[in-house]
Amino acid sequence: MESSNKNRKKITIAVDGFSSCGKSTFAREIAARLGYIFIDTGAMYRAVTLYALEHGAIRNGILDADKLIAMLGDIHIAFRFNPERGASDIYVNGERVEGKIRTIEVSNCVSAVSSIAEVRRKLVAMQQEMGRSKGIVMDGRDIGTVVFPDAELKIFMTADPAVRAQRRYDELRAKGQEVSLQEIEENIRNRDIADQNRAISPLRKADDAVVLDNSHMTVQDQMEWIAEKLRPLIG
């Protein structure tokens, strides 16, 4: 995959799958290599969750859905490229919230927020607008089934929950956060159940998606895997 090849056809790449599978790392690397735009939709739902926590729509872990719905018009989300990270940071109403959305408190509440139909409608419309010109890699839970059902390439990622928990634990510890591996794995397993059983846009593999189980794969292994899938699509 070479980002300098200007003659290649631009496509939409939809990356779906379970939480903490490394979808964002995978999708970000694909985008960097192809010169595509990367959008982390999970970060968008986390941003709304953070806003709900900071503005009283979630108290003691209990979500007031009506209060959050009333706030949606006040929530403005944007991505801005950060040259220091070589990736885009997420902003809510002009405030950079990249670190604040990754806490366990947000993780524990994001499934409830993302199950609200009005929240999903708002963010799906934003995501579809972002991807209108193709040349985009977008990751989340319903990209290939709801946001871009006509995407040229759909990938569904999975990994063993224990492996995912260890990855998440290592990531948070590296950021200086004191966390419990057991709590993280419990959160991941609970999120899997919630994501697959929610009434609005439940997590499921699109019929034409290819499955990537990266439990025992490095990022380089995954890039070699995706290169094979891209070759017939973009030349």
1-30 pLDDT per residue, tens: 554 455 678 999 999 999 899 998 999 999
Spatial contact of 190 and 129, defined as CB atoms under 8 Å apart: no
- What percent of the chain lies above the pLDDT cut of 90? 69
Specify the DSSP class assigned to residue 141. Answer: S
In a domain, 43, yes or no: yes
Q: Find the domain containing 99 and state its range.
A: 12-225
Tell me the three state secondary structure of residue 89: strand
> Of the given ranges (163-172, 179-188, 197-206), which has the lowest mean pLDDT?
197-206
For the cut 60, the answer to whether the pLDDT of residue 210 exceeds it is yes
In a domain, 2, yes or no: no
pTM: 0.78
CATH code for the domain in which residue 220 is found: 3.40.50.300
Query: Per the structure, how many domains does the chain have?
Result: 1
Closest Cα to residue 42, out of 160, 163, 168? 168
